[in-house]
Structure 1
Amino acid sequence: MELHFSRHRRLRQSANMRALVRENHLRAEDFIYPLFIVEGEKTKNEVSSMPGVFQISMDYLQEEMEEIVSLGIKSVILFGVPAEKDECGEQAYHDHGIVQEATRFIKDRFPEMIVVADTCLCEYTSHGHCGVVEGDRVLNDASLELLVKTAVSQAKAGADIIAPSNMMDGFVAAIRAGLDEAGFEEVPIMSYAVKYSSAFYGPFRDAADSTPQFGDRKTYQMDPANRMEALREAESDVNEGADFLIVKPGMPYLDIVRDVKNNFNLPVVIYNVSGEYSMVKAAALNGWIDEKKIVLEMLVGMKRAGADLIITYFAKDAVRWLNEE
């Protein structure tokens, strides 16, 4: 009996053969590593819900950056945890705010490192929302003014990329105009273009101390059930001048990553968020999974879905594992 069928296994016969035809790869340059910078001294607090992730004060930043550079990671994203908060999040746009000071420190000592500044108010406001609050409402246009001030102050401090994560309507247009007017036409915007109102952010709120004190963020972050809305959000940001598009969270939204990649000719960034990290860490610490294999498979899946860059708390571990191979 003569059979006609394809022999796909020919290209899987050995490790070298599989490597030869591999379609997607992970590199140190693909990763953006998040850092949580707190005010004060001699502070290195492990985040209780994120094993291996720390809040660090400025006096630990040199040691941290030396490790990051030694691994070949080229980019970090900074989140600030201020000592004082107020209704309008003044420390977000203060010239000597914690993110601004950390940015100056890194750019002075590690000038080749790409510093991405997260541009939001939630870590700095007493109410924990991402903008100006009136009663139980988050005001869109009034929030834009403060976000522009924050972006400009971060650019003045030396941030290479401004990454607004607030999800106010028009935030890219406002920040682009503000940066240009202040003389920062060359500073790109990495927009959190598609940011869902997700339960996967829980551990991050421990790390950044940014839990809303009332209500939730569903009026400005996206409904997880919606797909076409993501394209509308991304299209608005492209038209307003975004240079990168972030999809957040990561693993539950790989279909959205692919949609964004297929529809827009800009670098796509995926945020492998805190809840995704903590679930893997918890399972690994219980001995239920092989952490290395799970993480590398998860990250390459994000690349396969269309991500060009990955913001991930696994960045340092992932690079170490890749170097072992």
Structure 2
Amino acid sequence: MYSPSFRFRRLRRTGALRQMMQETHLRAEDFILPLFVEEDITAPVPVASMPGVMRYPESDLGAQVKHAWAQGIRAVLLFGVSTHKDACGTDSWQENGLLARMIRLAKEAVPEMTVISDNCFCEYTDHGHCGVVADDDVDNDKTLRNLQKQVVAAARAGADMIAPSGMMDGMIGAIREALDEAGFSQVPVMSYSTKFASAFYGPFRDAVDSTFKGTRASYQMNPANGREALAESLMDEAEGADILMVKPGLAYLDVLAAIRQHSHLPLAVYQVSGEYAMVKAAAAAGVIDEQAVVMESLLAFKRAGADLIISYHALDAIQWLNQQ
């Protein structure tokens, strides 16, 4: 009878041995928590397609940041839900616009919190596109000029990090130039460097109350293109990005791993609204163990090469980690 000379199961025999041999680990510091802030509301508004996620009034933002800090979150990513929309998203670069106000509120609540500004125009334009629309498409270079104004406004308001999500060509070079010229050379940029035109974003439109119709396929990436995905991130690294990102997460672990193999920069992944909503729906239907599936997914991101994870599960994940 054959007997294997080496047995992998020897090191899986007990819980203590399995913990000793575990290669990939999650920490509270790995997580970035997205928060949605809406103008002109007085109480939190539940996001119907994302159970447990709220759009908060400005008056509640400070309390939410304090709560996140107390739970172990060390970075928040802020999204504004504006009621002052126009064709170019001009409110987003006003000194007292929503973007600037929510950054100041978050920093005042917990000065030690790393406050990250999501820099795009889709929440601030009346058409919902990520920049200036011309000839039924987004004008790349006009959008870059507006983006430069937006990121300087965010930095002046106290943002610790800029996170541009619009997938405009040259956006990192333009942002770095604007920040440096305005005296903010110390502010890092976390680029949405490989962002796909994905069906997984659907619930996010509920979260930001978007009426967007159409497609962003002319500027976000084709989900079929792995080599281009790597090239996008490497281009942003060359232009001066401090952190790279892949969005969405679970369907693009191969892309995450490829970027990790070719770049030594910190690497983030965004576990997006559709990923979150699917887990919540399946758990509510009783067909999966929510905690087990979430933690397995988060470990997959780390195993593929992510250093940072942007996730709506972040607070729950930290609680589960503390219970281990």
* Alpha-carbon offset, residue 259 of structure 1: 0.4
- Paired residue total: 324
* Alpha-carbon offset, residue 288 of structure 1: 1.4
**Equivalence for 2:15:** 15
Q: Which amino acid aligns with 1:232?
A: A
* Alpha-carbon offset, residue 321 of structure 1: 0.9
Root-mean-square deviation (CA, aligned residues, Å) is 1.1
Q: Deviation per CA, 1:164-216: give whole Å up to 9, x if none.
A: 00001000000000000000000000000000000000000111123423x31
- Partners in 1 of 2:233 and 2:65 — Cα distance? 32
Using the size of structure 2 for normalisation, the TM-score is 0.98
**Equivalence for 1:210:** 210
**Equivalence for 1:71:** 71
Secondary structure class of the residue paired with 1:191: coil
Identity of aligned residues (%): 52
Structure 2 matches for 1:163-182, cutoff 5 A? 163-182=163-182
Query: Are 2:90 and 1:90 equivalent residues in the alignment?
Result: yes
**Equivalence for 1:48:** 48
**Equivalence for 2:322:** 323
Secondary structure class of the residue paired with 1:270: strand
**Equivalence for 2:146:** 146
Runs of 4+ aligned structure 1 residues displaced above 2 Å come to: 1-5, 209-213
Moved more, 60-69 or 138-147: 60-69
Q: Deviation per CA, 1:97-125: give whole Å up to 9, x if none.
A: 22211111121221110011000000100
Query: Are 2:301 and 1:302 equivalent residues in the alignment?
Result: yes
| Contact 2:86–2:126 (CA under 8 A) maintained in structure 1 | yes
- Partners in 2 of 1:76 and 1:152 — Cα distance? 19
- Partners in 1 of 2:43 and 2:144 — Cα distance? 33
**Equivalence for 2:100:** 100
| Contact 2:65–2:109 (CA under 8 A) maintained in structure 1 | no
Q: Which amino acid aligns with 1:106?
A: A
Query: Are 2:271 and 1:272 equivalent residues in the alignment?
Result: yes
- Partners in 1 of 2:271 and 2:218 — Cα distance? 23
Moved more, 202-211 or 168-177: 202-211
Q: Which amino acid aligns with 2:204?
A: F
* Alpha-carbon offset, residue 135 of structure 1: 2.9
| Contact 1:37–1:99 (CA under 8 A) maintained in structure 2 | no
| Contact 2:63–2:109 (CA under 8 A) maintained in structure 1 | no
Structure 2 matches for 1:187-266, cutoff 5 A? 187-213=187-213, 215-266=214-265
Q: Deviation per CA, 1:119-163: give whole Å up to 9, x if none.
A: 000010001000101131210000000111111100000000100
Q: Return 5+ residue gaps in structure 1 as ranges.
A: none
Using the size of structure 1 for normalisation, the TM-score is 0.97
| Contact 2:283–2:290 (CA under 8 A) maintained in structure 1 | yes
* Alpha-carbon offset, residue 3 of structure 1: 3.5
Moved more, 282-291 or 269-278: 282-291
Q: Return 5+ residue gaps in structure 2 as ranges.
A: none
